[in-house]
Structure 1
């Protein structure tokens, strides 16, 4: 019997997630003939630094601070980041979390699928699920009603195991492995 999938914990090490996501993005883009520019790659990297959804303006701030730190100066223009996000969504590398107007990395960009998410209301971590039977049921119901599905995003709000634990390390926004707010 296969082991049940677990919700990522606060102590989760994101370094491998980031590296795996960037490697998968390179492969997916190469296979599709799409160009993963330095900016698109950096936006994807920032999104994957955490399992919590991140907003476009937070991305703009992080990118702008990084440019200043590198001596490149100048603020990154919002349309530039929105174009990068649009590309990443089109390639299936990122999902938009509608309820938060924010973005999260796609765990399986090489597979066409719908967005099903468990989102912790306390720490903000979002975990992507495979649709399985739910996906099949929704598609069947839509067919019965002669409805063309263009996009499905289901967001389930609740509390993750770490935030439910007595004295658990609840935090407002996870960032890097081992950090706690």
Structure 2
């Protein structure tokens, strides 16, 4: 596998890396965006906008609408702070927001766990196949559904 390596952040380091990446993308790091990112980063599995809205609502002591969270999540995906698991309509915090890469997800149908892997050879081939047809790929997302080792 032609993988690339990067430093994965967590906790306060992840929040600082996300904030720096968002500001570098020309966006503001607002209190609401920080709350949504903190909630997203707190989930061990991909979380829906509704899950995140509920977590932020509890933290802030007021109701936060899922449509507001969706807008912020779209911004986060565009700025590489979050990754969207398309088949689950759910999101994961990107543990290395400074590294732009394509997404390959291994999604367990048993427990719902999702593992993100990098394989530049595979995604390069996908980009190449798309380009060969005249299509301009922006960011391939590959999802493989099955069972993780614990559920198999």
Asked whether the 8 Å contact 1:106–1:128 carries over to 2, the reply is no
* Residue 148 of structure 1, CA deviation: 1.5
Q: 1:136 aligns with which of 124, 127, 138?
A: 124
Partner of 2:107: 119
Q: 1:57 aligns with which of 33, 50, 59?
A: 50
Q: Equivalents in 2 of 1:159, 1:19: separation in Å?
A: 32
Q: What is the TM-score when the length of structure 1 is the normalising length? A: 0.71
- Structure 1, unaligned runs of 5 or more: 6-15, 69-73, 165-181
Q: Equivalents in 2 of 1:99, 1:20: separation in Å?
A: 29
Q: Equivalents in 1 of 2:108, 2:11: separation in Å?
A: 21
Residue 47, structure 1, aligned to residue 40, structure 2 = yes
Structure having the higher Rg:
1
- Matched residues, number: 145
Partner of 2:82: 94
Q: Equivalents in 1 of 2:100, 2:55: separation in Å?
A: 30
Partner of 2:24: 31
Partner of 1:84: 72
Secondary structure of 2:24 counterpart: helix
Asked whether the 8 Å contact 1:107–1:128 carries over to 2, the reply is no
Q: Equivalents in 1 of 2:24, 2:60: separation in Å?
A: 30
Secondary structure of 1:108 counterpart: coil
RMSD (Å) for aligned C-alpha atoms = 2.0
- Structure 2, unaligned runs of 5 or more: none
Secondary structure of 1:155 counterpart: strand
- Over residues 67-98 of structure 1, what are the superposed CA-to-partner deviations in whole Å (9 max), with x where a residue is unaligned? 22xxxxx3112332122112211111011111
Q: Equivalents in 2 of 1:147, 1:33: separation in Å?
A: 28
Q: What is the TM-score when the length of structure 2 is the normalising length? A: 0.83
Q: Equivalents in 1 of 2:123, 2:151: separation in Å?
A: 28
Partner of 1:176: none
